[in-house]
Amino acid sequence: MTTYEEQTKLTDLSATAEQVRRAVESVIEGKPEVVRISLTVLLAEGHLLLEDVPGVGKTMLAKSLARAIDCTVQRVQFTPDLLPSDITGISVYDQQTREFEFKPGAVFAQIMIGDEINRASPKTQSALLEAMEERQVTADGRTYPLPDPFMVIATQNPVEMEGTYPLPEAQRDRFMARVSVGYPDPEAELRMLQSHGGYSPLDALQPVASAQDVVKLIEAVREIHVSDAVRRYAVDLVIATRTHTELRLGASPRATLQLLRAAKASAALCGRGYVLPDDVQALAVPVLAHRLLPTAQAQLNRRTSEQIVTEIVHRTAVSSPYGAPQHRGY
């Protein structure tokens, strides 16, 4: 592919992604960075965990992103009585054919929205593990591929923990990024009152891209160039989490891979055909923090995973293309 063809492809990607971003921001007021990370995860073939207090728009954000793309969507309200078969599907006996017929579950959608995922039992949560990692479902000895693109957007409330089941490390590790929506600023909240007062903007939101458009965008992101120095920098960041004295569990190799994929998507959204260390730095906290477990002493000192990752980013030097580390002045 020529340089001109690559730039044209990136221009088309940026234009389509910009349309999706604007469509989502027409519903979600004052949260451009959260919307951008959500779109980055989609183009990086990842899954997104939205964690925040009730009423800040977690489910609305997930619905807006899903509706902005003309693809199949399934929303599941996770409850303690939800069964794994409700997620993956179940085989039903057909009396006419005298054979079992597989009825797909909610996961057989291009975008699955799991609302309050930590309210389901661990058995039901584990039903998503194969789907999120291998993009397939195995039932009754048969394997069924999931549609393309495929993304899980899950929400959870970190405050009201009664009757919930915390996500195990294996489940959290399969989410590419975790973001908190947060409260809007006063101006954004005023605009929300004006736009949401009489009706929901979500009802007026129309798709601005098709599922095939998203597939093309994902293919373009895969072709983004990553230098050896940037790869080394990503590895250095992850290794630093494994040796940090305030962490009893560091990031996994899967985290390294997903950090690099997210950085490639971020570079593509900026219209660049190559990844900068800045792309990796900007995504280090949302991609790495939720995978880490602070030590008991760190928790007593009220140290969060986000704070520790931020310090690691500031202290880790970026290797130059010639092998010598370069400090970026942080």
**Would you list the DSSP string of 291-330?**
G-EE-HHHHHTT--HHHHHHHHHHHPPEEPTTS-EE----
Please report, as a single letter, which amino acid is at residue 3.
T
d(CA 39, CA 255) in angstroms, rounded, equals 18
Predicted local confidence at residue 267, as pLDDT: 93
d(CA 286, CA 266) in angstroms, rounded, equals 13
Q: Minimal CA–CA distance to 66: which of 31, 23, 10, 26?
A: 23
Predicted local confidence at residue 33, as pLDDT: 92
In sequence order, the 6+-apart residues with CB closer than 8 A to the CB of 9 are 1, 220, 223
Whether residue 260 has pLDDT greater than 90: yes
| 257/14: higher pLDDT | 257
Q: pLDDT digits over 167-203, tens only?
A: 888 899 999 999 998 888 888 888 877 776 667 778 8
Average pLDDT on 132-147 reads 91
What residues does 142 pair with on adjacent strands?
Answer: 139
DSSP designation for 28 = S
Whether residue 330 has pLDDT greater than 50: no
Q: Minimal CA–CA distance to 101: which of 116, 117, 90?
A: 90
- Is-contact 284 259, C-beta < 8 A? yes
In sequence order, the 6+-apart residues with CB closer than 8 A to the CB of 323 are none
Q: Is 160 left (phi over 0), alpha (psi -120 to 50) or beta?
A: beta
| 252/55: higher pLDDT | 252
Query: What Å distances lie between residue 50 and 98, 153, 158, 200, CA to CA?
Result: 44, 7, 10, 21
